[in-house]
Amino acid sequence: MRSFFHRHQPTACLPCWVKAGLGTVAAFLAAAMIGNVADAIMIMAPLGASAVLVFGIPESPLSQPAHFIGGHLIAAVVALSADRLLPAGPWALAGTVGFVIFLIGLLRLSHPPAGATSLVVMTTHPSWSFVLTPVLSGALTLLAVAILVHRLPPRKSIYPLPVPVRVPEE
């Protein structure tokens, strides 16, 4: 029973989590202001979950830009295609989310909130412009703010992570 209540994260770095919270505020304010100026929706619920990863756990592979942007884009495109091609219903919804998880895993672009992006599409039936706003524009706004915020102290990790150097085998 203890395993249900054990916290597997290391002890919290209070200044790091304050920075994560304030960075998230800045990112969503920026997205909202840009959206107001552009008369476009730049925010969707799955980006809130992405913010937890990108601002709070920047050292995770799942938080890296390719995963964050790629996961949401793939989920949106796949779900919009499925929404247009499949008959509406629970099988289409479940199958689409399952296929998105399979595909982003296969492509090594896993980003858990992307599953929610496919659910949003399958339940709201948006137009193809959804890929640009809010998915791409909102994600890029959060990413730009995250890159800036993670340059500020305290810096517990580098964001985005550097590309690993591969040593050729002899």
pLDDT at 92: 98
Across the chain, which has 170 residues, the per-10-residue mean pLDDT values are 83 90 98 97 97 96 97 98 97 98 98 98 98 98 97 89 86
Phi, psi of 115 (to 5 degrees): -60, -40
pLDDT at 166: 86
Q: Where are the domains of the chain?
A: 16-149
pLDDT at 152: 94
pLDDT at 31: 98
pLDDT at 103: 98
Residue type, 22: L
Closest CA to 13 of 58, 49, 47, 63: 58
Listing DSSP states for 126-154 in one string gives --GGGGIIIIIHHHHHHHHHHHHHTTSSS
Distances (CA, A) of 160 to 53, 55, 108: 12, 11, 16
pLDDT at 167: 83
